[in-house]
Structure 1
Amino acid sequence: MSTEALFSPTRIGAIDVRNRIAMAPLTRSRAGMDGVQTPLAADYYGQRASAGLIIAEATNISRQGRGYAYTPGLYTDAHVDAWAPVTAAVHAAGGRIVVQLWHVGRMSHTSLQEGGAAPVAPSAIQAGGNVFTEAGNVPPSMPRALTTEEIAGILEDYRQAARRAKDAGFDGVEVHAANGYLLEQFLRDSTNFRDDQYGGSIENRARFPLEVVEAVAGVWGADRVGLRLSPLSTAIGDTPLDSTPMETHGYLARRLGEMGLAYLHVVEGQLHAGNGAELLDVQALREAFGGAYIANNGYDRARALSATASGHADMIAFGKPFIGNPDLVERLRLETPLFEAPAATFFGGGAEGYTEFARI
C-alpha cells in the first residue's frame, strides 16, 4: 500500500468514507444549557465535512449523564431537531457523521444534575480533577453507587439516544467507553468495587459496556456502531489504571469483534500528556478485535501517512488540528502549514474560535 493510503477511500463497517482521516470528537461547549445545539453547529460541522468520518462531540444520553455545561444532548425531541440540520449540512457536503453517546458517571457536579442530585457511578468513589459548570471549573461532586436495578434504566437511555440519533440523520453512533467516564468506570477495577454481576471479574466489569453496545446495535446494526477506548489514560478524573489493562481491554475488544462492530477507536497512550503508547500493545488489541481500527492521539501528517501505509490503522483521528483548520484534509494532502487555534476559544462562546477565526 502506498504512502498515500491516508487519502484513499475505504469502508468502515457499513460506512463508506472518502479518506482515512477522521475528525475526533471534540467537546466545544457551544450548546445551550438545555443541551440544544445552536445553528452554528451546522456551520461548524459542515465546514469540516471533507473528513472521511466526523465523530461528533460527546453527546449526553440523559440529563443524568451530563457532566459539563453547554454540552449537547440526544434525549428530547428538541435535541433531535437541533442535530438534524448538522447531519444535513455534512451530507450536503458529501461527508459522513456519527455521534458519540456519552454518560459521564462520576465526572459531574450536583449543579448539573436535576434537583441537585448526586452524580452516579459504579461505586461511590469521588473523581479528581474538575468539571466545567456555569460557575466555572469545580471539583466533581461525590457520586452515589448505582443499584443493580438502576443500571437497566441507563441501558434504556442509551437505546433511546441511539434511536434519536437515527431520527436526527446520523450515519451511525460511537459508544464512549473511554476517558474516565461511566462505561470506563465500570470496566476498570480501580473505579469499580461492586459485588454484583457488574463487578469483580473482568467478564463482570465488561458486562455493562457490552450490554450498551448490544442495545445500541439493536437499533443501528452492529456495522454502524463503533466504540472508543483509552486503556492508558488517567487524565480525566485522575482515574487510576486498571490493574491488568491488556487483559481487561483485550477481553472487551475480542467480545466487540465477535459482535461485528464497525470499528474500534483507541486513544493510544495517555490523553493530554506525553503519549506513552508503547506501554500497551495496541496491535494485539486490534487483532483481538479483528475489525477496522481508528488510531488516535498526537498523530501528525508523517505518522498518519506511515500508520495507514503500514496497516497499523485503518483511519487516523485528528482532534485539535480540526479546530483551527476546517480544511485539514486538504492541508495535510498539500503539506500546507496548519493554523493553531487559540486555546481560549476551545470551550464556550460563539462563532469566534468555532466557525470564524481572526488569523493574525
Structure 2
Amino acid sequence: MTNRATSPLLTPYSSGSLSLPNRLVMAPMTRFRAHEDGTPLPVVADHYAQRAEAGLLITEGIWPHRRGQSDWRLPGLETAAHVAGWRAVTDAVHERGGRIFAQLMHGGRQGHPRSRLLGDVPAGPSAVPVPGPVHVKDGKAEAPVPREMTVDDIRTAIDDHVAAARNALRAGFDGVEIHGANSYLTHQFLADNTNLRDDAYGCDKTRFAVELVTAVAEAVGADRLGLRLSPGNPQFGMAERAPAPVYRALLDALNPLGLAYLHLTDNDDYPALADLRPRWRGTLIGNVGENHEPTTRQQGERVLTQGYADLVSYGRAFLTHPDLPARIAVNGPIGTPIDTARLYTHGAEGYTDYPTLEEERASQLTAAESG
C-alpha cells in the first residue's frame, strides 16, 4: 500500500523559490469558467482551493491581453477586474496552505473574430490557419487565416506578457508560467509549419521564446517564472520535423536565467523527458499524460524514480479528485470518469462537485446502512 513514507510523489521538494510539501503538480486545464469580459467566476476560487493540497497548482491558460484571446469566456489578466477576480482565487488557495502559479496563454493564430472581445482576426508568426472548424461563442466556424505578425506585433506580445505577469503578482500569485506548448503562440514560433518567416524570428525559431522568457524574467524575477513546452506535440495541426535540435538550443539559451522550473510534456515520437532532462540544470516538471490516457500513480512514480523529472503534473486525475495527494497516500482509487457533459460549461456542476475519498466512503456507508 502506498503511503507518505514510501511514495516518491508525496515526498517534499525544495529548490530556489519552490518549497513544496509533495511532488504532485496540478497541470493547467482550460475550463471556461469566466465572465464574458474574462474575469474569473466566483466558483473558480472554490475549484482551486479544493485542490490546494497539491504541491503546486497551475491555473488554466489566461490571456495576457485581449489581443491574445483564443476563445470566448477564457479568463484574462489585463484589467483591474481581472486582478480582483484572481485575487479571490489566490486568497482562497493560500488560506488552505496552497501555492499557485498563473499560466499566461497567448493564442497567436488560435481564435476567431466571433470568439474575441476585439472582434478581429488573430495574428500568428505566419498566415497559416488552424486546420478544421474551430469553436466560437455561438457554435463552430471555419478557422480564419491569421494575420502575420509584424516585428512591432511581436514586441507588443512580449510587452503584453510582461504586463500580465506583473498583474499576476498583484493578484497574489506565487509565480507565473508561460505557455510555450500545445499549439499556442510560443509553440507556433518553434514549429516548422506555423513559422514560415524569413526574418530573424524564422531563421532562429527559438528567438521569440528566448526574448519572451527573458523579458518576463527581468520583470518579475526568474525564480517566479516557469515555462511549459511540448516538443513534437501535433495538437491542432502542429508539425515539427526534428524537435531535438530546436529544443536543445532553447534550453541551452534559457539555462543561465535560473527559472523556477521547466514544465515538459513527453511525446511518443520524441522522448523529450529522456533527451532534455540531462540538459536542464533546474527544476523539471514532467507530464506524461498529454495525448494519452490519464496518468496513473505508478506512471508518476516511475518518472521520478527514473530521474526524468523532479515533479509530476497531473491533469484529469486532479479534475475528478480534488484530494489527489490524500488518495495516493492510502492507495485510493483515482479513476473516476470525468463529467464530460459539463466539462466546459460555466457552473459548479462538473467542476467543484467531485467528492473526496472521505466523502465517497461516507456516502457508500450511508447507502449500505440504508440498504
Query: How far does residue 283 in structure 1 lie from its aligned partner after superposition?
Result: 2.4
The C-alpha deviation readout for 1:99-119, integer Å capped at 9, x for no partner, is 111101111101123453211
Which one-letter code corresponds to 2:349 in the other structure?
E
Q: Distance in 2 between matches of 1:127 and 1:330?
A: 40
- Verify the 8 A CA contact 1:32 1:38 in the aligned structure 2: yes
Moved more, 287-296 or 169-178: 287-296
Alignment equivalent of 2:97, drawn from 94, 98, 105: 94
Q: What pairs with 1:157-236 in structure 2 (closer than 5 Å)?
A: 157-200=160-203, 204-235=204-235
- The DSSP-based 3-state class of the residue aligned with 1:265 is strand
Query: How far does residue 12 in structure 1 lie from its aligned partner after superposition?
Result: 4.5
Gap regions ≥5 residues in structure 1: 270-275
Q: Distance in 2 between matches of 1:258 and 1:137?
A: 44
Q: TM-score, normalised by structure 1?
A: 0.92
- Count of aligned pairs: 347
- The DSSP-based 3-state class of the residue aligned with 1:68 is coil
Q: Distance in 2 between matches of 1:11 and 1:156?
A: 31
- The DSSP-based 3-state class of the residue aligned with 2:202 is coil
- The DSSP-based 3-state class of the residue aligned with 2:121 is coil
Which one-letter code corresponds to 2:270 in the other structure?
L
- Asked if residue 287 in structure 1 is aligned to residue 285 in structure 2, the reply is no
Moved more, 29-38 or 130-139: 130-139
Q: Distance in 2 between matches of 1:65 and 1:154?
A: 8
Query: How far does residue 294 in structure 1 lie from its aligned partner after superposition?
Result: 0.6
Moved more, 215-224 or 14-23: 215-224
Q: Distance in 2 between matches of 1:17 and 1:185?
A: 32
- The DSSP-based 3-state class of the residue aligned with 1:211 is helix
- Asked if residue 316 in structure 1 is aligned to residue 322 in structure 2, the reply is no
Q: Distance in 2 between matches of 1:130 and 1:185?
A: 19
- Verify the 8 A CA contact 1:30 1:71 in the aligned structure 2: yes
- 1:340 and 1:13, CA in 2 relative to 1: closer, same or farther beyond 3 A? farther
- The DSSP-based 3-state class of the residue aligned with 1:106 is coil
Query: How far does residue 357 in structure 1 lie from its aligned partner after superposition?
Result: 4.1
Which one-letter code corresponds to 1:255 in the other structure?
A
- Verify the 8 A CA contact 2:231 2:272 in the aligned structure 1: no
Query: How far does residue 147 in structure 1 lie from its aligned partner after superposition?
Result: 0.9
Q: Distance in 1 between matches of 2:142 and 2:40?
A: 26
Query: How far does residue 212 in structure 1 lie from its aligned partner after superposition?
Result: 1.1
Q: Distance in 2 between matches of 1:114 and 1:353?
A: 26
Moved more, 175-184 or 188-197: 188-197
The C-alpha deviation readout for 1:107-133, integer Å capped at 9, x for no partner, is 110112345321100100111144432
Which protein shows a greater Rg? 2
Q: Distance in 1 between matches of 2:271 and 2:22?
A: 27
Q: What pairs with 1:341-360 in structure 2 (closer than 5 Å)?
A: 341-357=338-354
- Verify the 8 A CA contact 2:90 2:172 in the aligned structure 1: yes
Query: Which residue in the other structure is 1:273 paired with?
Result: none
Which one-letter code corresponds to 1:285 in the other structure?
L
- 1:280 and 1:309, CA in 2 relative to 1: closer, same or farther beyond 3 A? closer
Identity over aligned residues, as a percent? 41
- Asked if residue 42 in structure 1 is aligned to residue 45 in structure 2, the reply is yes
- 1:134 and 1:206, CA in 2 relative to 1: closer, same or farther beyond 3 A? same
- 1:39 and 1:115, CA in 2 relative to 1: closer, same or farther beyond 3 A? closer
Gap regions ≥5 residues in structure 2: 290-294, 364-371
Q: Distance in 1 between matches of 2:338 and 2:238?
A: 28
Alignment equivalent of 1:125, drawn from 113, 128, 135: 128
- 1:80 and 1:336, CA in 2 relative to 1: closer, same or farther beyond 3 A? same
The C-alpha deviation readout for 1:43-100, integer Å capped at 9, x for no partner, is 0000000000001110001111111121100010100000001111111111100011
- Asked if residue 21 in structure 1 is aligned to residue 24 in structure 2, the reply is yes
Moved more, 281-290 or 331-340: 281-290
Query: Which residue in the other structure is 1:74 paired with?
Result: 77
Query: Which residue in the other structure is 2:366 paired with?
Result: none
- Verify the 8 A CA contact 1:13 1:263 in the aligned structure 2: no
Q: Distance in 2 between matches of 1:209 and 1:29?
A: 26
Q: Distance in 2 between matches of 1:192 and 1:248?
A: 13
The C-alpha deviation readout for 1:171-228, integer Å capped at 9, x for no partner, is 000010000111111111221111221112xxx2111111111111112211111101
Alignment equivalent of 1:340, drawn from 330, 337, 342: 337
Which one-letter code corresponds to 2:115 in the other structure?
L
- Verify the 8 A CA contact 1:246 1:280 in the aligned structure 2: no
Q: Distance in 1 between matches of 2:132 and 2:80?
A: 33
Q: Distance in 2 between matches of 1:134 and 1:326?
A: 29
Alignment equivalent of 1:113, drawn from 112, 116, 122: 116
